[in-house]
């Protein structure tokens, strides 16, 4: 079994291979690989081909399929069991997992409604409704349920993160920050705060709050994404030296790009040009060349910028960024040339002093 994915679980062995409803087996802890479940699923399907009405086989198929993350559509099996055995709690759980995995969101909503019309509210059903509404593009309903979900789970870190992440997907930064803020109150060292909450705070213009959350995080000095976030916090707080210090020594393209942005925004052109030259030296990609062309344009070195845009267009004449850049720089060069020509046409006035009056006397 070495080299294959391994799934650890505890389950009733009879659920896989027993064809008799009367056999009973103790609960065992078993480590099995994926091929074990594939073999089991194949056997169940073979048995079902000869005995389609066997409820135990249908249930066994759902159990094995769930462990394999639903390799085939089991809609027919769910409908058969619901008709013959009723909508049991176990069947609802299988159906929810399957419908969500296959993005059958209408069926997911229908089975939730069917269960609750008979048995009352199903624990966690709002979460599945949120998933379904988002999948169906029913964003207004999803937002409404998300807000209620936060209120109902105000002390549940996992639930709050679920809500916050979905609010980010919906581009509702305000409510995402609210939900992450709840997480920060309960568990300020939660790693997802570093990945999502701190960048959101920075984007919204709250670097001081971001810095307070950052103080609780377990940081990995070798993690590039984390270093970029930390550097951005210092930059937004106005501490440019610390921002650069966090990233100094790292010559990867994302780091150089970030530091070039900072130098450009603070009008430190010599430093920006030096870093962009270093970037192109180790990364001659189109992205790096276009970044240098942009820096040179903003620096005022128009001819060099125009030549770089032209170099990119030689390789790919359809590059729209290079086309637009070359056009903009070309217009600037033409405008400056016309100003120079107009200056040269202005006649020079003779302002030499007249001879002294004593010469006229």
pLDDT in tens, 68-121: 999 999 999 999 999 999 999 999 999 999 999 999 999 999 999 999 999 999
Beta-carbon contacts of residue 203 (< 8 Å; ≥ 6 apart): 173
Cα–Cα distance measured from residue 129 to residue 166, given in angstroms and rounded to the nearest whole number: 13
On the question of pLDDT at 360 being above 50, the answer is no
Exposure on the CB side of residue 317, measured as CA atoms within 13 A: 0
Cα–Cα distance measured from residue 259 to residue 11, given in angstroms and rounded to the nearest whole number: 54
228-275 confidence digits (pLDDT tens) = 999 999 999 899 999 999 999 899 999 999 999 999 999 999 999 999
Q: How many CB atoms lie within 10 A of CB 266?
A: 12
Instruction: Give the per-residue pLDDT at 50.
Output: 92
Phi, psi of 238 (to 5 degrees): 90, 5
State the pTM of this model.
0.65
> Three-state SS for 190?
coil
6 vs 206: which has the higher pLDDT: 206
> Three-state SS for 10?
strand
> Three-state SS for 73?
coil
State the pLDDT confidence band at 204, using cuts at 50, 70 and 90: confident
Cα–Cα distance measured from residue 6 to residue 342, given in angstroms and rounded to the nearest whole number: 79
Alpha helix (H) residue ranges in the chain: 14-17, 34-50, 55-67, 75-85, 89-101, 105-119, 125-136, 139-152, 157-169, 173-186, 191-192, 198-204, 207-214, 224-236, 240-247, 253-265, 269-282, 286-299, 302-315, 320-345
Beta-carbon contacts of residue 251 (< 8 Å; ≥ 6 apart): 278, 282
At 244, list the tokens: 């650069």
State the pLDDT confidence band at 352, using cuts at 50, 70 and 90: low
Phi, psi of 9 (to 5 degrees): -155, 165
Kindly state the greatest CA–CA separation across the chain.
142
């Amino acid at each position: 079994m070495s080299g294959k994915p391994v799934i650890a679980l505890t389950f009733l062995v009879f659920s896989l291979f027993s064809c008799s409803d009367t056999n009973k087996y103790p609960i065992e802890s078993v480590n099995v690989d994926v091929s074990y479940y594939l073999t089991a699923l194949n056997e169940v399907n073979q048995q079902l081909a000869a005995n389609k009405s066997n409820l135990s086989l249908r249930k066994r198929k759902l159990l094995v399929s769930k462990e394999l993350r639903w390799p085939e559509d089991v809609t027919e099996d769910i409908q058969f069991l619901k008709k013959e055995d009723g909508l049991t709690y176990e069947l609802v759980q299988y159906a929810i997992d399957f419908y969500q995995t296959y993005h059958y969101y209408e069926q997911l909503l229908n089975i939730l409604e069917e269960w609750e019309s008979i048995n009352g509210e199903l624990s966690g059903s709002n979460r599945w409704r949120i998933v379904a509404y988002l999948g169906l593009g029913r964003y207004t309903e999803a937002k409404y349920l998300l807000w209620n979900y936060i209120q109902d789970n105000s002390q549940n870190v996992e639930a709050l993160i679920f809500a916050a992440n979905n609010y980010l997907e919906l581009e509702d930064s305000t409510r995402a920050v609210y939900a992450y803020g709840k997480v920060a109150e309960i568990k300020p060292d939660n790693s997802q705060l570093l990945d999502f909450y701190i960048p959101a705070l920075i984007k919204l213009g709250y670097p001081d709050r971001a810095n307070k959350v950052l103080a609780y995080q377990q940081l990995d000095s070798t993690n590039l994404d984390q270093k970029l976030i930390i550097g951005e916090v210092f930059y937004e707080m106005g501490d440019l030296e610390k921002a650069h210090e966090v990233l100094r020594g790292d010559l990867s393209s994302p780091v150089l790009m970030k530091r070039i942005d900072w130098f450009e925004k603070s009008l430190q052109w010599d430093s920006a040009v030096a870093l962009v030259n270093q970037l192109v030296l180790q990364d001659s990609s189109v992205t790096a060349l276009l970044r240098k062309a942009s820096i040179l344009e903003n620096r005022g070195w128009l001819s060099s910028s125009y030549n770089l845009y032209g170099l990119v267009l030689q390789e790919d004449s359809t590059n729209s960024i290079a086309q637009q850049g070359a056009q903009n720089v070309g217009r600037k060069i033409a405008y400056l040339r016309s100003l120079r020509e107009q200056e040269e046409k202005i006649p020079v006035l003779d302002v030499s002093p007249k001879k002294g009056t004593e010469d006229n006397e």
